[in-house]
Amino acid sequence: MSLLSIEGVTQRFGGLTAVDSVSCAIAPGTISAIIGPNGAGKTTLFNLISGFQKPVAGRIVFDGHDITGMAPHRIAARGLVRTFQLVQLFPDLTAAQNVEAGCHLRGSGGLWAALARTASARRELADAAATARELLAFVGLQARADLPATALTYGQQRLLEVARALAAAPRLLLLDEPAAGLNALETDHLARTLDAIVARGVTVLLIEHDMSLVMRVASRIVVLDFGRRIAEGTPEEVQRDPAVLEAYLGGVDLAAGGGSAHA
Ligand SMILES: Nc1ncnc2c1ncn2[C@@H]1O[C@H](COP(=O)(O)OP(=O)(O)OP(=O)(O)O)[C@@H](O)[C@H]1O
Ligand SMILES: [Mg+2]
């Protein structure tokens, strides 16, 4: 059974159909990616899934429950947590405090349940501060825990957002362009972190323009263009799809890292 099922979801802004009857299913324990040129409707689809906008048509089912139009905090409490395209940290708080702030969103299951398996871990989980340290170490930011968020490099801030989202104990984690602005070394670290997140029982759905990252980590890819789903499949299938090559300005080599056709 799929963890997330998107069924004919549509969103309009005035005369513009930003998301046009999109359907797709996300299997548990996988990394999937949504790609597509600028303005294709990727972030809008995330807004619909995470409850920040209500679709004008269609249905979103998470873990067997219809969450269409549900408030974001209720969706998060069910274990569906997202990050944003632009960094949204609390600038005056330390890195650790930013992660602690994510703890209040937690529901049950996923990473939380995985961490809670041992008695000593369970004791630690009572303490959001300890959890924050653990998650900072998990993403490789343990040495930055007590610095203000603004003292971190941009790449570190993006990882901090991932740690904060993990603090909410997601079963499904939505990441909107997590590699945007990262250098090659940071992107490589992110890729390994994503694999580690999945290994801990969290399913990942990411929007990403960095095609080499997408091809490396994602097992399924959904391609949007002008709000429509134009392709869906494995990285190999999507790279060969004529409609996808057309959408990316007639033949950008996806494997070589092109990606922003309508920009
Ligand atoms: N709140 C809004 N009001 C009006 N139009 C919007 C709104 N949000 C998005 N749009 C429009 O909907 C379309 C899809 O936007 P969206 O941000 O979802 O694209 P995207 O695929 O995330 O693009 P990018 O890769 O640049 O982030 C665009 O034409 C955008 O201008
Ligand atoms: Mg976007």
Report how far residue 4's alpha carbon sits from residue 162's, in angstroms, rounded to the nearest whole number.
20
Q: Which residues contact 105 (CB under 8 A, 6 or more apart)?
A: 73, 76, 77, 81, 167, 168, 169
Q: Are residues 32 and 116 in the same domain?
A: no
Nearest protein Cα to ligand 1, atom 29: 39
Q: Which among 10, 13, 17, 214 is the best mutation to test ligand 1's pocket, defined by most ligand atoms within 8 Å of the CB?
A: 13
Q: Are residues 73 and 176 in the same domain?
A: yes
What's the total number of domains in the chain?
Answer: 2
Question: pLDDT tens across 119-139, in order?
Answer: 544 554 557 888 999 999 999
Q: Tell me the ligand closest to 34's alpha carbon.
A: 1
Q: Tell me the ligand closest to 38's alpha carbon.
A: 1
Q: Tell me the ligand closest to 259's alpha carbon.
A: 1
| 194: nearest Cα among 150, 139, 244 | 139
pLDDT in tens, the chain (263 residues): 899 999 999 999 999 999 999 999 999 999 999 999 999 999 999 999 999 999 999 999 999 999 999 999 899 999 999 999 888 899 999 999 999 888 866 644 445 555 665 554 455 455 788 899 999 999 999 999 999 999 999 999 999 999 999 999 999 999 999 999 999 999 999 999 999 999 999 999 999 999 999 999 999 999 999 999 999 999 999 999 999 998 886 545 555 554 444 54
Q: Indicate which CATH number applies to the domain containing 108.
A: 3.40.50.300
Report how far residue 204's alpha carbon sits from residue 189's, in angstroms, rounded to the nearest whole number.
16
Q: Give Rg (Cα) of the chain.
A: 18
Residue 43 Cβ inside 6 Å of ligand 1? The answer reads yes
Domain hosting residue 69, numbered range: 1-79+171-263
Q: In angstroms, what is the span from residue 122 Cα to ligand 1's centroid?
A: 42
**205, two tokens:** 């759905």
Helix or strand holding residue 213 (H, E): helix 211-217
Q: What pLDDT, on a 0 to 100 scale, did the predictor assign at position 102?
A: 85
Residue where one domain finishes, among candidates 129, 146, 170:
170
